[in-house]
Structure 1
Amino acid sequence: MSRVPAEPSWSPDVPVLTDGVVTLRAHRSTDVGRIVEMATDPQMIRWTRVPTPYARGDAEQFALADIPRGWDEGTAMGWAIDHGDRYVGNVDIRGAGAIADIGFALHPDARGLGVMQHSVRLAVDHAFGVGKRVVRWQAAAGNLASLRVAHACGFTLDAVVRDGVEIRGTICDTWVGSLRADDPLTPKTTWCASTFETERFRLRPLLESDDERIRETLDDPVSRKYLFGRPVPLTLEHAAAERQRKWWTAARGETCTWVVADLATDTYLGDITLLGIDEVTGAEAGFYTHPDARGSGVLAEAFPAVVDHAFGVMGMRRLTMFAAASNRGSKSLAQSAGFREFGTQELAASSAGVFEDLIGFELLCD
C-alpha cells in the first residue's frame, strides 16, 4: 500500500491555470474533507466507478499520492478546481502519449454554475500546449451533466458504444467524444433544449422523471399500431433508453424533443420531436400522446406552437410529416396545422403488422 504524505512533497512546477472564474491547482490536504463529500454524493456514485464506501483515507490516497504519481511519471495531469475560494472538484488528463483521456468531477454545491466548462477548457488547452493532439471523453449513457460539459467545450460527439462500461456490476452503454488540438473550444452543434408555454401546456425537454409515462405511452395498443419494432413487453429500461437516445441526438443537433406537460402539474402528456434537422431540408415532425391525454386537445394546441417555434425561433424553412393512410388523427393534425399533402409512398407503413400507404405532408416557412 502506498505511503500517503501529510502534504504532497512533489514538484512545485504543477501549473496553476486560471481564467478569472476558476483556478486549477495542485491538490492540498485541506481538500480531503470536500473530496469525501463529493465522492459519497449519490450522483457521483451513480455515474462513476468511485470506490464505495469511500473514506478519508481513500481521499488522501487519491489527492496526496495518486495524483502526484501521475505528474511525476508523466502519465496524468490532475488538478484541483478552486471556485469562490474553495475546492469544488477535479479535472485530469490521462495518458502519456499524444492521445489522452479526460475525467472530471464536481462537488454537489458547485453544480449548475458552469464551473466545469471553464475547468475543462483550461485543462485541455494546457494539454494541447504541451503536445497532446487528441483528448477523448466518455460517460455512461444518461449522464446528462457530463454530456452538457462535453458539448459546451467543443467535443465532437462521436458515437454511442453499446455495453461500453461496467459500473457497480451493471453494464451500461457509453457516450464517447473527442477533441482535437486545432478544434475551437465551443459547441460544434446547436443543441435545442428550449422551454415555452401555450395556454394550457408547458413544452420542455425530457426529464428522467418522465420515463414511466413514456413507457405507458409507447406500450399502449394505439401507439403500437403505428410504431413497429418496439420491444414486447416495453419496460422502464426501454423507456429510459428512448429518453437517452433523444438527449444524445439533440446534443448532436439532429433532433429536438419537447414534452407536452400539464401547465399546473408538469405531468408528461406526450411529446413532439423534430427529426433529421437540416438547414436545407428542414426537419420531420413526429409525436406521441399518452393514452389518458387523448381526446383532450393536447396535440391540437401544442403542435401548432411547435411549428411556430421551429420557424420563428429555430429559423427552420421547411417541416415534413408522414402518416399511415389509416391514421386519421395524424392526417387531421397535419392539415389543421397548415401542412399540405405532397405525395404517397405505396405500402411504406406498417400498421398493426399490415402494410399500407404512407402519406407525406409538408409546410414551408412564409
Structure 2
Amino acid sequence: MEPVILTTERLLLRPFEASDAATVYAACQEPDIPRWTSIPSPYGFEDAELFTGTTSPEGWHTDTSYSFAVLSRSDGCLVGSMGLIRLDRLHPPERQAELGYWTAKEHRGKGYTVEAARAVVHWAFADLGVERMEWLAEAGNEGSQAVARRVGFRMEGTLRAKLIHAGTRRDAWIGSLLPSDLPREPEPGSTAAPATDATPYLPYQG
C-alpha cells in the first residue's frame, strides 16, 4: 500500500527513510532493545541501513509489515519504532495483525509509546479493517506489557516456547485488542479527562 503518515498531539509517525539509519543505529546500541526485541545483536550500522533503506520500504510495498518512525513534533527527534507485523493474516477471513514497537532510552517515561500505539491501533481498525490486534513479548518484559495494558490490550496468557532469542526458545506473553475494547468517542460538547500513560518501554519488533 502507499505509505501513510499519522499525527498525534506530540508525535509524527511516518515510514522510515534511508536517512534514519544513523539515529536507528544509535538508539539500538542501548542493551535493552536487542535484549527484548528481534533485532540483530550486536546491532551494526549495516543492520540499520538495511532496515531503513530496504526492509521497511519493502514491507509497505509488499503489504507484509507497516513500520513507522515515531518522531517528536517539537524537535524531530526519533522517539522509537512502531508498526504492524504478521500482515499475511490481514485479509479475510482472519483480519488480524500484530503490534510491535521499541522506544529509545532517552524518550521512555513520557507516554510517547502509548500515544503512538493508540494512533496505529485506531488506524488499523478504522482504515485497514483489522478485527483483532495481537501483542506478543517475551515473558518478563514488564515494560512492554505496561504499554500494552495502557493501550487497552487484554492479557490472554503465556505461549510456551513461542519465541526464539539468542538460539533459545522462550515463553511469550500474548494479549489482544478488539475494536469494541476501545473507549467510545466523547459526545460533542463533553470534556474528557486527559489520559495518563504508564512508563513506556519496548516489546517485540524487528
Corresponding position: 1:223 with 2:22: no
Map Cα deviations across residues 45-90 of structure 1 (whole Å, 9 max, x no partner): xxxxxxxxxxxxxxxxxxxxxxxxxxxxxxxxxxxxxxxxxxxxxx
Give the alignment partner of residue 236 of structure 1, picking from 45, 53, 65. Answer: 45
Residue 302 of structure 1 aligns with which residue? Answer: 116
Listed as ranges, the matches of 1:33-52 within 5 Å are none
Over 3 Å counting, the alpha-carbon distance change for 1:353 and 1:254 in structure 2 is closer
Residue 290 of structure 1 aligns with which residue? Answer: 104
Q: How many residues align?
A: 175
What letter matches 1:253 in structure 2? D
Give the alignment partner of residue 337 of structure 1, picking from 136, 141, 151. Answer: 151
Corresponding position: 1:202 with 2:16: no
Residue 139 of structure 1 aligns with which residue? Answer: none
What letter matches 2:76 in structure 1? D
Deviation at 1:209, TM superposition (A): 1.9
Provide the secondary structure at the position in 2 that maps to 1:326: coil
Q: Partners in 2 of 1:247 and 1:292 — Cα distance? A: 26
What letter matches 1:364 in structure 2? L
Q: Partners in 2 of 1:272 and 1:192 — Cα distance? A: 17
Give unpaired runs (5+ residues) of structure 1: 1-190
| Percent of aligned pairs with the same amino acid | 26
Q: Partners in 1 of 2:83 and 2:132 — Cα distance? A: 15
Map Cα deviations across residues 111-158 of structure 1 (whole Å, 9 max, x no partner): xxxxxxxxxxxxxxxxxxxxxxxxxxxxxxxxxxxxxxxxxxxxxxxx
305-314 or 340-349: bigger deviation: 340-349
Deviation at 1:275, TM superposition (A): 0.7
Q: Partners in 1 of 2:84 and 2:95 — Cα distance? A: 12
Over 3 Å counting, the alpha-carbon distance change for 1:215 and 1:225 in structure 2 is same
Asked if 2 retains the 8 angstrom alpha-carbon contact of 1:192 and 1:256, the reply is: no
Corresponding position: 1:362 with 2:171: no
Q: Which has the higher contact order (CA 8 A, sep 6+)?
A: 2
Q: Partners in 1 of 2:178 and 2:138 — Cα distance? A: 22
User: Normalized per residue, which structure has more strand?
Assistant: 1
What letter matches 1:242 in structure 2? F
Please report the TM-score for the alignment, with normalisation by the length of structure 1: 0.45
Asked if 2 retains the 8 angstrom alpha-carbon contact of 1:321 and 1:362, the reply is: yes
